């Protein structure tokens, strides 16, 4: 079974939940760029200080800085037998930079959680309501989904035959079972 996996899917598809489950099952780290950025800041590493300065200014962390964090994370001992990437790369330029930096074998398989747009909107509206975030209106959510389609979805074509699509609708356990079956086949 592949052990260098990229999780793709629109916001609300359940990537984080499924990546955590699969990482535990495979015994590899779940590498989430959001968590990595927070960890780098809290560790106070040189990269962390750079990230903190960017975040404090309100700017977006540059592709180069995120790539440096990802490279550093992939070089750790626990990632030598595989990893699950979640949140990076987010676009084709980042995918090419990752391949240039780490090698073409950086991603063995791209796992796409496929969920209908109306289902995603309903999930995200529900999550927003549970978290008390009134700013996540349907319009804002649909905009985020549009950004995903224009910026991240082209990775599906970029990775081509290495993409395995899995129906992301159902219970957490049902979706996980489909992921395991898809990766085993």
Tokens of 157: 């074509």
Out of 3, 38, 127, 178, the active site residue is 127
- Secondary structure tally for the chain: helices H, strands E: 9, 5
In sequence order, the β-bridge partners of residue 96 are none
For 86, list phi and psi in degrees, rounded to 5.
-135, 110
Characterize the bridge pairing of strands 163-167 and 30-32. unpaired
Annotated catalytic residue within 15, 73, 123, 142: 15
Q: Which of 3, 38, 142, 144 is catalytic?
A: 144
90 an active-site residue?
A: yes
Is 127 in the active site?
A: yes
Task: Look up 133 and say whether it is catalytic.
Answer: yes
Cross-strand pairs, 6: 85, 110
The one catalytic residue in 49, 76, 96, 133 is 133
**Active-site residue, selected from the candidate residues 38, 90, 142, 178:** 90
Show the CA angle centred on residue 15, arms to residues 170 and 134, nearest 5°: 85
- Catalytic residue at 123? no
Tokens of 135: 């700013």
Unique residue bearing structure tokens 């955590």: 20
Active site residues: 15, 90, 127, 133, 144
């Amino acid at each position: 079974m592949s052990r260098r996996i990229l999780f793709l899917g629109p916001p609300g598809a359940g990537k984080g939940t499924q990546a955590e489950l699969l990482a535990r099952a495979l015994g590899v780290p779940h590498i989430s760029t959001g968590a990595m950025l927070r960890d780098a800041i809290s560790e106070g590493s040189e990269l962390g200080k750079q990230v903190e300065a960017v975040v404090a200014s309100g700017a977006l962390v540059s592709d180069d800085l995120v790539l440096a964090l990802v490279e550093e994370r992939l070089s750790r001992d626990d990632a030598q037998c595989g990893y699950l990437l979640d949140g990076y790369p987010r676009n084709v330029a980042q995918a090419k930079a990752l391949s240039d930096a780490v090698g073409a074998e950086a991603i063995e398989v791209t796992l796409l959680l496929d969920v209908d747009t109306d289902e995603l909107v309903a999930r995200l509206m529900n999550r927003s309501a549970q978290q008390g975030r009134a700013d996540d209106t349907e319009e804002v959510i649909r905009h985020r989904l549009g950004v995903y389609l224009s910026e991240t979805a082209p990775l599906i074509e970029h990775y081509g035959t290495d993409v395995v699509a899995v129906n992301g609708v159902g219970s957490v356990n049902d979706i996980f079972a489909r992921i395991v079956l898809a990766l085993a086949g």
